[in-house]
Amino acid sequence: MIQDKNLLSEKEKDIVINSIKEGKTIPKETINSPLSEECDFNRGVFKKYKKLPYNPKLKDRAKELRKAGNLSEVLFWNQVKRKQFLSLDFHRQKIIGNYIVDFYCPKLNLIIEIDGNSHNNKVEYDKKRDNYLKSLGLIILHFTDIDVKRNLNGVMEYLKEFCGNMNTPNSDKSESTPLQEGNINTPSLRDTPLIEGNLTKKRKNK
């Protein structure tokens, strides 16, 4: 079997992962893949690709999704479009590989997903997709449909704090977990699950 020269070998992957966990510098001589020239391993996450994988066959589907956007997506988009949120550029229904993500911020390598009710098959699909996206070094942040609809201000406040902390050393912001309806199960709030419409509960109790 011919190995794709653009992929890291298993040995190289182990070196990268272990070095990231221990906060060490990646030895350049151990990384032979061209991928290393496009990635900043020492930040703790992969830097964005110069050009993300793109399936042109999904172009029409992405256009349809933009036109048909549900209420929660429209509400969120109205908060971030035209760089009005922290002067960050967000793309809507962005094609990455064979997937279409709800929102993507190229400057932060950040994907925003707004999740509705999920059955078992959808959960497995989302897990597979998230694993692929994280393998590209992208950060995935999930919000629930109900939180966006009922507590949009709280969602945007949390996102503002999250983006502001993205440069914090040794923080793991690429981890994402399936959400239950009404719970924003993001990294810093995972220890205090929030019920629907109560995103800012933790902050108010301080």
DSSP string over 69-94: --HHHHHHHHHHGGGTTTT---EEEE
Q: Are 16 and 73 within one domain? A: no
Q: Are 103 and 153 within one domain? A: yes
Q: Are 115 and 29 within one domain? A: no
The whole-chain average pLDDT of the chain stands at: 72
Instruction: Quote the CA–CA distance of 70 and 66 in Å, as a whole number.
Output: 9
CATH of the domain at 98: 3.40.960.10
| Residue type, position 14, single letter | D
Does residue 2 fall inside a structural domain?
no
DSSP string over 167-203: T-TT---S------TT----GGGTTS---TT-TTHHH
Question: CA 37, 175, 30: angle at the middle one, nearest 5?
Answer: 30
Q: Are 17 and 80 within one domain? A: no
Instruction: Quote the CA–CA distance of 99 and 180 in Å, as a whole number.
Output: 22
Q: Which domain holds residue 126?
A: 56-204
Q: Are 37 and 113 within one domain? A: no
The pLDDT of residue 168 is: 52
Strands 91-96 and 99-105: antiparallel
% of the chain beyond a pLDDT of 90? 48
Q: Are 35 and 100 within one domain? A: no
pTM for the model stands at 0.61
Does residue 51 fall inside a structural domain?
no
The pLDDT of residue 35 is: 35
Burial (CB count within 10 angstroms: exposed 0-12, middle 13-18, buried 19+), residue 193 = middle
Does residue 79 fall inside a structural domain?
yes
Confidence bin at 91 (pLDDT 50/70/90): very high
% of the chain beyond a pLDDT of 70? 55
Of the candidate ranges 33-37, 48-52, 103-107, the one whose mean pLDDT is the lowest: 33-37
The pLDDT of residue 16 is: 53
